[in-house]
Structure 1
Amino acid sequence: MHGDIINNMKNRLVAQILNRVADFMDLKGDEFRSKAYRRAARTIELLGEDIEEVAAQDRLQELPGVGRNIASKIREILDTGSLHLLHELMEEYPVDFDALLSVEGVGPRTVKLLYEELGIKTLDDLEYQAKRHRIRRLRGMGEKKEKAILRNIELARSRITRKPLAYIVPLAQRIKSEIMDLEGVQRVEVAGSIRRGRETVGDIDILVTARDPEMVMDYFTSMETVREVVVRGPRKSTVRLVEDLDCDLRVFDDGVFGSALLYFTGSWEFNVELRRIAQSMGMKLSEYGLFRGDERVAGRTEEEVLEALGLTYIEPELRENRGEIEAARERRLPELVSSEDVRGDLHMHSLHSDGIDSIADLASYAETLGREYIAVTDHARYISDPDSYLRSIEGVDEIPVLAGVEVSILADGSLEVPGDVLEDFDLVVASVHDGFNVTERLLGAMDHDVVDIIGHPTGRVLGTREPVVDIERVTERAAEAGVALEVNSNPLRLDLRDTHIRMAIEAGCKLAINSDAHSRGGLENIRWGVLTARRGWASSDDVINTLSFRGLKRWLEI
């Protein structure tokens, strides 16, 4: 069954897992075992035959760098799709070593030190601790190295080649539509990080069922948007697009499309955990189905595979192995918020500040998008005559329009407009737009009773250095003060991010998914905020603008 593709996938899986073990051995300081696992992985990456056939013929130990111990590990991977040793190492060192090791001056021993002494797991953690001068206190570090690490974090981030989700989805959908229009094509799905709704995308994964795979490959590799054909096969091809990213297309039989979609949607960690569960139940899971011995027991749909593993359906956005598998086993996954749940938009700008459309045009277009109400929140510094501004909003009758304002939070946590003036508005969005000391400024702003929403709370912009914000303190204070935290849907912000959204929900915060539109077209950006909120486990009950207009006014106490 399409042996060349299966072989490549199996060989790649084995090499990937062995390389990951080698990374962890580096963290442990076990240089000998690290080199051994890395050499074996390299051998398998360059192997010109199927690793499963080599194992079946008992020839694993004939391969360079593969002794008895590593051979047994390879057999375990081939039998189960995972490796118990790797799970043990991941529990011992739950760090994002790919990101940390990308910072010049941070090696395996440094990562181990940072994790054990300061609990640093991610690039954000590293930056947070460096900016608080805590790294310089560690043995062998010092002020000079700490400053170098801070500089090199910026360089590491600048090397990231992932592109904003919103920029790539239209391209992926266009390719999907073109493939779907081909004769004999029965189903086309976009998988990978796009289907999970990740904020950035490294490549495009497309899965297809078709009567004539060869015809599909002919079309795919000759599309106008293709700059280069990287790999051409009977059932899997990779092309490099003129947009400077790769696109993989794979053709599967209908009977295994569900298991393939599950496999190519989930993160690496998610798939490893599913394979471990299958193994514990005496089964094997791959993109070609869930097997008990030689019998395929599930594979046609994702639901079928997950049910056979004792799990309820897991929405694609959650498939990161962040607790969703356990929650699915215990039947306690939330019903995630959807775009249809969002009834209003509470952050946008008109001609009265730095927007390009009138309030009436914004209201009219919002209505076509299914919104039942909006809040226009022009920047306070542009509103020289608040009474005139409020009257202009009252004259709009397309849908209910709240008179809002976005006010900047100053360096000392005060607001740029006096509280007695802000009391005349229906809704106040307070935001930090420049400077440092963001955490204290946000905390100070929430001491003002007039503030309803904190806009783009961390101030991040994708692809640039993220401001240092103690999000735990911010979410705790927001919950205490009854202030909603924004999920800003601007594709270059998506702020709060998914992990921060989950922290906010766990702290008891309410969220507001807003467009922050500066034109009518920007109102459509809500979809990206919804995806991000779903990745943060948000339900409609967590979001204030899923309320009816009457319910929102009660929440605002107006």
Structure 2
Amino acid sequence: MSVHNADIAALFQRMADLLDIEGANPFRVRAYRRAAATIGELPESVASLIERGEPLETLPAIGDDLAEKIVEIVRTGRLKALEEVEARTPSTLAALTAIPGLGPKRVHALHQELGIRTLADLEAAAKAGRLRDLPKFGAAIEAKILDDIAKHRTTEKRFSIALAEEFARDLTRYLSAAPGATRVVVAGSYRRRRETVGDLDLLVICDDGPALTDYFVRYDEIAEVVSKGPTRSTVILTSGIQVDLRVVPEESYGTALHYFTGSKAHSIAIRTILQDKGLKLNEYGVFKGKERVGGESEEDVFRAAGLGYIEPELREDRGEIEASKAGMLPKLITLADIRGDLHAHTDASDGRSSLEEMAEAARALGYDYLAVSDHSQHVIVANGLDPERLARQLDEIDRLNDRFDGFRLLKSCEVDILADGTLDLPDSILKRLDYTVCAVHFGFDFDSDRQTERILKAMDNRYFNILAHPTGRLIGQRPGYGLDLDRIIEGARVRGCFLEINAHPMRLDLDDIRCRQAKEAGVRLAISTDAHSTVGLGAMRYGVDQARRGWIEAGDVLNTRPWKELKALFDR
């Protein structure tokens, strides 16, 4: 059975959670978390690196001990050290940290004081009123925990686009090797590049459907075969994700791909247009009566409907059909349009790669520039830079830039927005920067008015340029803080500020709808990775996907421009 990067990261994350609950050395806990982050960000399978004999110790935050553990996981599917921890601290306790507000210390207290081991234990204790008397709990927190447990249970299990991509890549490789398979594609919300995916829809062109489905259900990561037929099969992988396979003939490939790609609303709208023209659309083709009039390509579908080709990311029935009729579809941004990354960290704060390593990685990607945006001093947990340390880093950047030809390190900083709306560093150091990336890192519980005013006041500072990860959300982990984004977008427009699309697959912040709103308001966006290592720079494609879903074109994005033009935009 294949071991995915996500499997390794999950084991390391569970190890960190359990050690944290036990009160282990914080440096040891942090080492596992950093390793989990590194593995989770890798654009290539760790198993492939091991197979090629490449040393894992060269990866950020991976030392000899962790490298050995990674090899152990890949070769055995187990981590002996984790099993030893689980023998003394129930592994179910780690799952409790998924409930908002329950950090390791609170979980430890619940286990020690009330013997709570599982989510069911926690719910029973809360309903019995046993939590409120514990230190740092109380009746309000007890009630909130009950509410959060209910929400947790009703939330549909979805997978980040990055994790779904890993499963899809391996499945595609496996099915492409099947006898008679000539084309394999993953459709559905995955092809539309939604930020999370509930299941995977695979289409395969093959003349022998029964043989292909027999081959499919022998995939070594299948936990359950839900159904199996001559051309269709549904399985559940060990990860929990559902995979639906459909075998289609060549002449039906285009209509099947369209049928299983668009959102339900988009598909209904297209079928309605065709019905009005006396045509019928299904997964087998476009028909006029009993005569097939198209089906080999998606273009057949759009042509029959009197439309131009609509990119998969736009197929949500949010005006794309009307825009196609009017010849007004956007020319969506592509990864090739990106000339640099405007938000990245080094080991000077909480990154895992040096300044020079980040620069060389950006140059290898063909970038014209990379911005160094380490945290400012208020973020103590991230080893934020005070004015003196930042000044030394700026001097070092100048020295490195003297060595580069055709590439530039940009001098930036992820500056904290303080509770009163002031910036975390004085203007005397901010004016030395090429631009700033400003962010909220605390006070997430401020009400919407206070949070909005806080950010608008920060935007009043002439050295404020880009608002980083504007809502502060972490997909599936933490909702965004209360914020009036309508006012923020208008405030940015009036002040000449910009908003970020944070490309990290657990953020993707702004979301696609707000991206489009910003575009329509005339506010330009920065697509940035917020990379904390060289491998993190590879997340740019997720930000571009998000931008495409938001109808964004190259001209709407800051970092499609050369530095000289970009510099002029940053000058307020």
Please report the TM-score for the alignment, with normalisation by the length of structure 2: 0.70
The question of 1:281 aligning with 2:277 is answered yes
Match of 1:226 among 222, 229, 232: 222
Provide the C-alpha distance between the structure 2 equivalents of 1:311 and 1:150, rounded to a whole number of angstroms: 50
Provide the C-alpha distance between the structure 1 equivalents of 2:345 and 2:152, rounded to a whole number of angstroms: 31
The equivalent of 1:544 in structure 2 is: 558
Match of 2:411 among 403, 412, 437: 403
The equivalent of 2:247 in structure 1 is: 251
Provide the C-alpha distance between the structure 2 equivalents of 1:183 and 1:372, rounded to a whole number of angstroms: 45
Alignment of 1:265-344 (within 5 A): 265-344=261-340
Provide the C-alpha distance between the structure 2 equivalents of 1:391 and 1:528, rounded to a whole number of angstroms: 32
Alignment of 1:379-398 (within 5 A): 379-381=375-377, 382-384=384-386, 385=388, 386-396=390-400, 397-398=403-404
The question of 1:156 aligning with 2:160 is answered no
Q: Tell me how far 1:327 sits from its aligned partner.
A: 0.6
The equivalent of 1:187 in structure 2 is: 183
The equivalent of 2:518 in structure 1 is: 504
The one-letter amino acid paired with 1:430 is: C
Tell whether the 8 Å contact from 1:343 to 1:371 is kept in structure 2 after alignment: yes
Change (3 A) 1:157 1:446: farther
- Decide which moves more: 315-324 or 284-293: 284-293
Alignment of 1:166-177 (within 5 A): 166-177=162-173
The percent of aligned pairs where both chains have the same amino acid is 44
The one-letter amino acid paired with 1:390 is: L
- Decide which moves more: 241-250 or 395-404: 395-404
Alignment of 1:198-209 (within 5 A): 198-209=194-205
Q: Tell me how far 1:154 sits from its aligned partner.
A: 7.8
- Partner deviation per Cα, 1:373-431 (whole Å, 9 max, x = no partner): 11000112122323211111112245310111110111121111122321111110010
The question of 1:424 aligning with 2:426 is answered no
- Partner deviation per Cα, 1:236-259 (whole Å, 9 max, x = no partner): 001110111110110111111000
Tell whether the 8 Å contact from 1:154 to 1:465 is kept in structure 2 after alignment: no
Provide the C-alpha distance between the structure 1 equivalents of 2:565 and 2:423, rounded to a whole number of angstroms: 27
Alignment of 1:51-70 (within 5 A): none
The equivalent of 1:459 in structure 2 is: 472
Change (3 A) 1:317 1:383: same
RMSD, aligned α-carbons: 1.8
Change (3 A) 1:190 1:284: same
Provide the C-alpha distance between the structure 2 equivalents of 1:546 and 1:181, rounded to a whole number of angstroms: 38
- Decide which moves more: 483-492 or 395-404: 395-404
- Partner deviation per Cα, 1:47-102 (whole Å, 9 max, x = no partner): xxxxxxxxxxxxxxxxxxxxxxxxxxxxxxxxxxxxxxxxxxxxxxxxxxxxxxxx
Structure 2 residues not aligned, in runs of 5+: 1-141, 378-383
Tell whether the 8 Å contact from 2:391 to 2:429 is kept in structure 1 after alignment: no
The one-letter amino acid paired with 1:447 is: D
Tell whether the 8 Å contact from 1:258 to 1:299 is kept in structure 2 after alignment: yes
Change (3 A) 1:534 1:183: same
Q: Tell me how far 1:156 sits from its aligned partner.
A: 3.1
Provide the C-alpha distance between the structure 1 equivalents of 2:312 and 2:366, rounded to a whole number of angstroms: 25
Change (3 A) 1:283 1:151: farther
Change (3 A) 1:294 1:186: same
Provide the C-alpha distance between the structure 2 equivalents of 1:412 and 1:391, rounded to a whole number of angstroms: 31
Provide the C-alpha distance between the structure 2 equivalents of 1:331 and 1:354, rounded to a whole number of angstroms: 47
Q: Tell me how far 1:285 sits from its aligned partner.
A: 1.2
The question of 1:442 aligning with 2:455 is answered yes
Change (3 A) 1:268 1:156: farther
Moved over 6 A (4+): 147-151
Provide the C-alpha distance between the structure 1 equivalents of 2:149 and 2:370, rounded to a whole number of angstroms: 38
Provide the C-alpha distance between the structure 2 equivalents of 1:341 and 1:252, rounded to a whole number of angstroms: 35
- Partner deviation per Cα, 1:482-508 (whole Å, 9 max, x = no partner): 111000011111000101101111111
Provide the C-alpha distance between the structure 2 equivalents of 1:322 and 1:225, rounded to a whole number of angstroms: 37
Q: Counterpart of 2:214 in 1: which secondary structure? A: helix
Q: Counterpart of 2:436 in 1: which secondary structure? A: strand
- Partner deviation per Cα, 1:271-326 (whole Å, 9 max, x = no partner): 11111111111111111111111111121101121011011111101111111111
Change (3 A) 1:424 1:154: farther
The one-letter amino acid paired with 1:421 is: I
- Partner deviation per Cα, 1:120-144 (whole Å, 9 max, x = no partner): xxxxxxxxxxxxxxxxxxxxxxxxx
Provide the C-alpha distance between the structure 2 equivalents of 1:252 and 1:267, rounded to a whole number of angstroms: 20
The question of 1:522 aligning with 2:548 is answered no
The equivalent of 1:532 in structure 2 is: 546
Change (3 A) 1:199 1:157: farther
Please report the TM-score for the alignment, with normalisation by the length of structure 1: 0.72
Q: Counterpart of 2:413 in 1: which secondary structure? A: strand
Tell whether the 8 Å contact from 1:432 to 1:438 is kept in structure 2 after alignment: no
Provide the C-alpha distance between the structure 2 equivalents of 1:151 and 1:323, rounded to a whole number of angstroms: 40
- Partner deviation per Cα, 1:486-531 (whole Å, 9 max, x = no partner): 0001111100010110111111100000000111111111111110
Q: Counterpart of 2:374 in 1: which secondary structure? A: strand
Alignment of 1:9-158 (within 5 A): 152=147, 155-156=150-151
